[in-house]
Structure 1
Amino acid sequence: MSIWWSLHLRREAASVPLARRLLLGAMETAGVDPDISYDLSVALSEACANAVEHGGHRGRGASSEAYRVTAYLDGEMCRIEVADAGPGFTAADRSRPAHDDAESGRGLFLIRELADHVHVGNKPGRGGAVVSFDKILKWRRDPALLTV
């Protein structure tokens, strides 16, 4: 089975649970194991929260007020990509460890812990950050999509 979807969301806090619910609904319908779905939904929430907080430039127009989420469920793999129009990542951002006492700054650490493969980079050209992550899927025995 192959499912993919893409959203263009405003950089508003309310967009984060919307993306998360859409992902959870698609995975439940496809029959993905709930533990895998939960891990991916937390990772997606972290990536979206980063895009909302850091993903825009002042004076750059409407494109800096939005970010994009794309999800692919293809065979045994799920890939999620979150891209924004912000300043992008520095080398220090990509390798900074999470501090136990920090109130923020743990998003990339959590994504790395929850996914099987993570890529953090910058979009070529006009700039912006891209966070993509993959996870091997496990399946429920009774997927809703197959019982319709």
Structure 2
Amino acid sequence: MSIWWSLHLRREAASVPLARRLLLGTMETAGVDPDISYDLSVALTEACANAVEHGGDGAEGGSSEAYRVTAYLDGEKCRIEVADSGPGFGRGHAARPAARPDAEHGRGLCLIEELADHVHIGSAPGRGGAVVSFDKMLKWRDNAPLVTAS
């Protein structure tokens, strides 16, 4: 079974729960274990919130006012990508300061890294902007409707 979808969303706070609900609905329909669905939905929420807050410089209309979310459920893995047209990450993004546990901001990327199995954080080649993609191995509910029998 393979499912994928892509959304082009305005950089507005109201777009974040829309992406989250679509992901949760897709995974529920497919029969993904609810704990895995929850982890991925929290990671998606953090990535979308970062795109909304940091994903554009406001200098131009159109593309800087939007971001893209793409989700792939393919076999035993889910991959999610959130891309914006903001300033992106510098070459040394890995050297970003560690978020303090009591900080109100700056913990989103750390949370994504904890919830996903594999995370890639970088800038979009050729067009700028940040790209956050993450994968997680899927577990299925018993009698999941869209899982094909082996």
TM-score range, shorter chain: over 0.9
Does the Cα contact within 8 Å between 1:28 and 1:143 map onto a contact in 2? no
Deviation at 1:59, TM superposition (A): 1.8
Deviation at 1:16, TM superposition (A): 0.4
Query: Which residue identity does 1:81 align to in structure 2?
Result: E
The verdict on how the C-alpha distance between 1:122 and 1:76 changes in structure 2, with shifts beyond 3 A counting, is same
Task: Please say if 1:98 is aligned against 2:99.
Answer: yes
1:83-111 CA distances to partner (integer Å, 9 max, x unpaired)? 00000012454343111121100000000
Percent identity between the two aligned chains: 79
Does the Cα contact within 8 Å between 2:58 and 2:65 map onto a contact in 1? no
In structure 1, distance between residues paired with 2:81 and 2:63: 17
Deviation at 1:39, TM superposition (A): 0.2
1:72-130 CA distances to partner (integer Å, 9 max, x unpaired)? 00000000000000000124543431111211000000000000000000011220000
In structure 1, distance between residues paired with 2:112 and 2:60: 28
Partner of 2:77: 77
State the TM-score, normalized to the length of structure 1: 0.94
In structure 2, distance between residues paired with 1:94 and 1:83: 18
Partner of 1:7: 7
Query: Which residue identity does 1:118 align to in structure 2?
Result: V
In structure 2, distance between residues paired with 1:34 and 1:131: 23
Partner of 1:125: 126
Does the Cα contact within 8 Å between 2:2 and 2:74 map onto a contact in 1? yes
In structure 1, distance between residues paired with 2:9 and 2:58: 17
How many positions carry a matched residue from both structures? 146
In structure 2, distance between residues paired with 1:31 and 1:62: 37
In structure 2, distance between residues paired with 1:18 and 1:12: 11
In structure 2, distance between residues paired with 1:25 and 1:94: 33
C-alpha RMSD of matched pairs (Å): 1.2
Unmatched 5+ stretches in structure 2: none
Does the Cα contact within 8 Å between 1:28 and 1:144 map onto a contact in 2? no
Query: Which residue identity does 2:83 align to in structure 1?
Result: A
